[in-house]
Amino acid sequence: MDKIDVNFKKIIENLDSIVLAVDYDNKIVFANKYFCTLFNTNCELIKGKNLYDFLPENADTVALKDYTYKITKFDDEFYSYYYLTVIDNQLEKVYSDFISTVSHELRTPLTSIRGFADTMLMSYDKLDKAQIQKFLTIIKEQSNRLIKLVENLLSISKIQVQHSNLVFKSVNAKSQIEQVADILKNQYPTHPFEIKCEQNVPNILVDENKFQQIMINLLDNAAKYSYEKGSITVSISNAIKENFVSIKVEDHGVGIEPQNLSKIFEKFTRIENHLTRKTQGSGLGLYIVKNLIEKMGGQICVKSSTELPNSGSVFEILMPVASYTSQSKKKLEDK
């Protein structure tokens, strides 16, 4: 007969940890949902099974499905209870991946800068004007790459602070996007940039600098991962969702496979294809974009196709309309 208190069972049933109850013959009398889901089994069918069919005997930890669990045991007058909680060694892996990725991203441009600087110092009198111009251009490009990486890392540190210093104001989206497009046209002269805007689209309530950062990332990605001479189209309109403005950035690139759509907003994620292999990047841009948008009360989604001739991606962001009500509410929240 089950001697576990009903209220206690309700509590442990939905804990975010594995809980098992066994009798003094080490037969399982209860297993919570977490355990049954982990082993893809029915909680009723597992009753009567031997504990050591699942856990090692006299062990403090156990590795299950890519995670290491700490085993804690206590007894009452009827049963022994086993609690399994994930050991936070996953943080160590995240930290290790972070150091590895950043080290690689820093080493590549630094090696280029040092190499070309050394060449100029040792052979300056033997280089013609075209070679000097080429080497200085490379040094400048790699320096800009370093600056962008550092800025992205600083952005992440600020994003992870709950109350980041956002300054909200009423902003004309079309005007801001035109400024960003003008900057990127010089960087990508072969890609046409087109901005379409519906009539009577209201201003949006955003931090102006952060909104520009969002648009620079989205338009830069659109150009960087597009085919040669592929056009970049930005469409601004009233969203179907009330009190939001829709901004869509469409490219004509290689597209994103369906299974990768959920991954692109994660830190240090770059999808492997022939276009991404030709370009430089740390995999931080879209993570920053998503977090900034959400901190400003917006949303982002992406649709993509890998089927030619309709390949390409459309990133849509929804930003709040700068109504009198929304501005008043934001001022109260800031206080």
Q: Could you tell me the CATH number of the domain that includes residue 210?
A: 3.30.565.10
Q: What distance in Å separates the CA atoms of residue 140 and residue 119, rounded to the nearest whole number?
A: 15
Shared domain check, 226 and 258 = yes
The pLDDT of residue 277 is above 60: no
DSSP 55-100: S-TT-SEEEETTEEEEEEEEE-SS-EEEEEEE-TTHHHHHHHHHHH
Banded pLDDT at 150 (limits 50, 70, 90)? confident
- Domain stop point among 159, 194, 212: 159
The Cα 215–Cα 63 span in angstroms is 44
178 and 146 housed in the same domain: no
How many separate helices (H) and strands (E) can be counted in the chain?
8, 12
Query: CB of 334 within 8 A of CB of 326?
Result: no
How many domains would you assign to the chain? 3
Residues 152 and 266 in one domain: no
Over residues 296-311, the pLDDT tens digits come to: 999 999 998 877 766 7
pTM of the model: 0.56
Tokens matching residue 51: 């504990």
What does residue 207 show for φ and ψ, rounded to 5 degrees? -80, 120
State the CATH number of the domain containing residue 150: 1.10.287.130
Beta partners for residue 247, in sequence order: 236, 317
What tokens appear for 33 in the block?
């949902």
Q: Name the amino acid, one letter, at 103.
A: S
pLDDT in tens, 54-69: 888 888 888 877 678 8
Q: What is the pLDDT of residues 13-36, one digit of tens each?
A: 777 778 888 998 899 988 888 888
Mean pLDDT of 90-109: 62
Q: Is residue 190 part of a domain?
A: yes
Q: Which of 159, 183, 204 is the last residue of a domain?
A: 159
Q: Domain for residue 266, yes or no? A: yes
